[in-house]
Amino acid sequence: MIKIFRSMRQTLLSEGKTKSYIKYAIGEIALVVIGILIALSINNWSATNKSNHAKEVVISKIKDEIKNNSQELDKANAINQKILRAFNEYSKIYSGTSSEVIASPREIQILRKEYPSFFRAKDSIKLDTKKYRYTGETFIELEIPDITSIAWETTRTINIANEFEYDCLYDLENTYNLQARVKREIDKATDALLKGEVEDLFKILRVMNQLESQLKISYNEMLTRIDDCK
């Protein structure tokens, strides 16, 4: 009887130890799981903070780039528009080419006052009591805007742009694509100027004027909402 009791006691003690071990093991596992979850949460929080900081930095850089590009566009546009107006006025009196004009001294005086450097007369021949044929050269100093896309290209390279809100990303893509079109027209205008193709140059300048107006609107709209890209 005593042996049976001892055996039962040992069995109970053994079962109690097993249960204690199981509880301990479960407790240890729970602590490990909790620790892992906390570590993952901290890592996620850290990664999110880093991502948010990176987005803030690139948005700031893009904003500065757009502002600078807009200022460059304004400066160049003011000068190139005056060149375009000068061409429109002088084209009314061109004698077939931009190297000769037929006008009265009064007309030449008015145009020289408004656009002093555009046409430089070297010689003149009197045609009648009112008109002269002026021979010279057209002088054009085209203003080339220094518009860049460094901040935008860098943002795309490091894949931060993929985390932008879709509509904002779409608008940024359109803005910089339009900017690329303007730059292509600028290159064409520069090439035409170097080749002395005055008529072609002013056709390009008219296209540039339209594209630059669209780009200016796009710049302004982008600046008002770029902070929402986050």
Q: Which residue has the tokens 């656009």?
A: 115
Beta carbons of 92 and 115 less than 8 angstroms apart: no
**Higher confidence at residue 171 or residue 2?**
171
Domains contained in the chain, number? 2
Helix 198-225 with 2-90: angle, nearest 10 deg: 140
Asked if the structure places residue 190 within a domain, the reply is yes
Does one domain contain both 179 and 220? yes
Closest CA to 68 of 199, 171, 229, 179: 179
Does one domain contain both 64 and 163? yes
DSSP assignment of 15-43 equals HHHHHHHHHHHHHHHHHHHHHHHHHHHHH
Region of poorest pLDDT, from 29-43, 48-62, 125-139, 141-155: 29-43
Asked if the structure places residue 33 within a domain, the reply is no
Could you give the angle at the alpha carbon of 156 between the alpha carbons of 150 and 161, nearest 5°? 120
Does one domain contain both 62 and 100? no
Element (H, E) at 191: helix 166-195
Asked if the structure places residue 196 within a domain, the reply is yes
pTM: 0.73
187-216, pLDDT tens digit by residue?
999 999 888 888 899 899 999 999 999 999
DSSP E strand stretches across the chain: 100-103, 119-126, 132-138
Quote the tokens at residue 225: 């909402």
The pLDDT of residue 56: 84
Does one domain contain both 69 and 178? yes
Asked if the structure places residue 11 within a domain, the reply is no
Asked if the structure places residue 7 within a domain, the reply is no
For 126, the domain range is 91-138
Does one domain contain both 218 and 192? yes
Asked if the structure places residue 24 within a domain, the reply is no
Asked if the structure places residue 70 within a domain, the reply is yes
Domain end among 138, 154, 177: 138
Does one domain contain both 182 and 152? yes
Does one domain contain both 72 and 170? yes
Asked if the structure places residue 203 within a domain, the reply is yes
Quote the tokens at residue 16: 């109690």
Does one domain contain both 164 and 131? no
Does one domain contain both 84 and 184? yes
The CA-based diameter of the chain, rounded to the nearest angstrom, is 151
Indicate if the pLDDT at residue 33 is higher than 80: no
Does one domain contain both 190 and 216? yes
Domain end among 112, 138, 164: 138
Region of poorest pLDDT, from 54-58, 76-80, 118-122, 189-193: 54-58
Does one domain contain both 64 and 172? yes
Domain end among 100, 118, 138: 138
Indicate if the pLDDT at residue 229 is higher than 90: no
Does one domain contain both 111 and 186? no
Task: Please say whether the dihedral angle defined by the alpha carbons of residues 17, 18, 20 and 21, taken in this order, is positive or negative.
Answer: positive
